[in-house]
Structure 1
């Protein structure tokens, strides 16, 4: 096997193990919140407090994104990742020793900081350390790892007390810390800091020395050499510089793309289902064997997310996204329609029918609609704007996630499962339409080629082809 591929896989494995841990954070409320309702629970939480325990996790993503943006620019990707995982480990310790709701909220905030920061920085690490041919597969595996973590915590929560679950899920952090310590620094970060010789050494170590890798390295270094050396700026100057980015096409267009990508990501139910799986399945199944249905759906989602990494390797991103996206909307509407008609006694209520449709929906939606928006973070932002762009992307994810997680209990109580997912499906379809007209194809493209697209509105070879066609037309005119 290619030695460069093995080195890339080792680095990506550290990111994936971290994403699995983030999945356990997302799914932790399924074992925590029901336990707090137990009459014998030493910690009591009202419905409002319970909703904040779930939503505070997403609220904490914002400081996570901001801190990660600073760390990865200031200290590099390696040290930034180490600093990002520390709050999550502290959160699990605080969770284990919690004696009241305030402690639980603090623990969830610490976990949210790590979830937000590592989700974004993890995509950057994969994008910068891996070759274009493997990048899509690796980025998609992030989603699969997240669902594996969610499945794991659902299983652990069924057999163990939530404090024990918190202690068990601390173990992966120790492994991740050891793995990250072995990483080299990102060649892109080294190049952006004008350390070109070191960047070449690390780049060839990670990618091997081929014609394609030499071309990618040359383009990256040339682009960074053209940039002026950035001096230390005051807070005011940094703010002015950040605001000026909104006047640059190569910053605004990726941000607009990611706005709809973030909305799409949340409306698929990616964060809603792990957090409220038992409640959703209980309503559909009538509380009959709901935990086993939850496990089954967990496994289906994890397997489909893993399989999507193969699909993303053989299919174009846009083809996969829009084919599966609109198909998922149709299946979701069918499931909601069945539940609505059954609730009005217009058709027999057979729980296996909507559960099967939801299983099919989550399988389809995890082929592309959930993983691709997260993968885009590591692809669409130019190196010059990567820290600011990923911060904006992170805030967009956080805000949309807070809105969905905070409103889901109210939506489920008011509109039931069928009404809640009908609303999500409509917004999901609108997001897909906007992305259809805005999102470029990034499969097998280098980060430099994607940056060129957002600067000029087309890829370099398309521009050359159009120029040649124009010349041919001119020559044909007598």
Structure 2
């Protein structure tokens, strides 16, 4: 075992040294003068998948009464239709990582679109619960796949000075898809809304003919000539990409000298910091209460004595606007400051909402409680949108070495979707137990998130993917060396 660790440390050192030199040299070339038109086009095509994600997520809310009436569904049958989306997303999360590594990022985007197309058509032609559920399961799979492959693709094509804000566009497009589906669903039939859900898929499938594959995936699969052509296309004809190309190829060549990673390898010491960071960020993102608030926001406003229609409209607008602001400032503010501000706002929003429900339960200040409840919920959704919604996905796409990115990304995405299901499933039970107690619980989870981010989450702003992963590997290697030296000394 000691020999194996020595070899791995030498390999990591070989990764680290040329990267730190070459990365700095390369980062000085091009700068803001880079021709980034192809990066923007590729990002637009990819985030149409995120918009499709939002369409899938927002479909069931405005269509519930119409579908139930037209197809004569019971409450339990419609509940299954709504919830099976999450199970489809979990299946997508489990399988899409290795598939993305095998068929490429563009291939995975095509496959995600195909599942959504099949799902929407099944819903459109449905004459009963069975077809509805099959369609919903298929769209769920596509949604779960998009949640992984879109940020991965964007992070691998974007220059480091744009990577944060471009990756954060995924969350903006998700909330836009949800909001638009909710509004359009009020004026069109549920079958027409299913057809409208095909539009983002059509745009993505068409756009994929005009954008390149991820250069890092091409390099990792040995297609070095294609890799250099694609990297030049993404950075612009006049930009010297030699340093960045050498950095990527050196890193991948060294990783390929290691044994092929398996699922259990994710829990090896050199990978564990990255895996645990991504997994815990996903846990805090979902268990902090966002899905309970999103799915039942109308009921929350009603229980607090405020107009659910007015509250929901304000909620939808705020979510889109604040998410856009967060995306625009991510590369300037940094990942950690944004997520810390976000978690602090979530904590504050939960406390204010808990106070409102406590006052209502005790029949105190009944004219003030509804205003406090709305204020708390709006603080909550604004805070989530500015950081906790997008930053965990951005960090996840940045911190995994490419040789474990598929398996590790699938694990993190699976944890995210399981957390989403757990939060949405338990919310009504918690609210029945105690309205203010529910938000005190969420406040405690968000307080833990603040502590975790302060001590364990790395800042990745302004670094290439290779520099990020080399820095993480350096920390792990130094720990191994200290541990072995201690063992030798004691022995």
- Give the equivalent residue in structure 2 for 1:474: none
* 1:21–1:172 CA contact under 8 A, matched in 2: yes
Q: Write the distance in 1 (CA, Å) between the matches of 2:407 and 2:391.
A: 20
Q: 1:252 aligned to 2:272?
A: yes
CA distance in 2, matches of 1:212, 1:293: 52
Preserved CA contact (<8 Å) 1:151 1:295: no
Cα shift at 1:459: 12
Tell me by how many angstroms 1:4 deviates: 3.0
2:211 equivalent to 1:183 = yes
Equivalent residue number for residue 334 of structure 1: 352
Match of 2:28 in 1: none
How far apart, CA to CA, are the structure 1 residues paired with 2:67 and 2:134? 16
Any conservation in 1 of the 2:49–2:109 contact (CA below 8 Å)? no
CA drift of 1:166 comes to 1.2
CA distance in 1, matches of 2:71, 2:80: 19
Q: Is the 8 A contact 2:59 2:181 kept in 1?
A: yes
Aligned to 1:473: none
The answer on whether the counterparts of 2:286 and 2:419 sit within 8 Å (CA) in structure 1 is yes
- Return the alpha-carbon distance in structure 2 between the equivalents of residues 28 and 433 of structure 1: 36
1:63 to 91, 112, 120: 91
Work out whether 1:312 is the aligned partner of 2:330. Answer: yes
Structure 2 match to 1:46: 75
Q: 1:432 aligns with which of 433, 440, 450?
A: 450
1:449 Cα deviation (Å)? 0.8
- Of residues 423, 428, 438, the one that matches 1:404 is 423
Q: Which runs of 5+ in 1 are unaligned?
A: 232-237, 461-478
Structure 1 Cα separation of the partners of residues 138 and 294 of structure 2? 19
The residue number in structure 2 matching 1:382 is: 401
Match of 1:107 in 2: 135
Q: Which range moves more in the overlay, 240-249 or 329-338?
A: 240-249
Stretch of structure 1 that moved more, 157-166 or 440-449: 157-166
Contact 1:268 1:369 in 2 (8 A): no
Partner Cα separation in structure 1 for residue 33 and residue 198 of structure 2? 33
Correspondence 1:121 to 2:149: yes
* TM-score normalised by structure 1 residue count: 0.87
1:231-266 per-position Cα deviation (integer Å, ceiling 9, x unaligned): 9xxxxxx8x8332342241x2211100121111211
**Do the aligned partners of 2:353 and 2:439 also contact (CA within 8 Å) in 1?**
no
Q: Is the 8 A contact 1:30 1:276 kept in 2?
A: no
Q: Is the 8 A contact 1:56 1:105 kept in 2?
A: yes
CA–CA distance in structure 1, aligned partners of residues 66 and 477 of structure 2 = 54
- Name the SS for the 1:158 alignment partner: coil
Root-mean-square deviation (CA, aligned residues, Å) is 2.5
Q: 2:44 & 2:179 partners in 1: Cα distance?
A: 19
Listed as ranges, the gaps of 5+ residues in structure 2 are 1-31, 479-491
Cα 1:346–1:101 shift into 2, 3 Å: same
Structure 2-normalised TM-score?
Answer: 0.84
Tell me, what secondary structure is at the counterpart of 1:347? coil
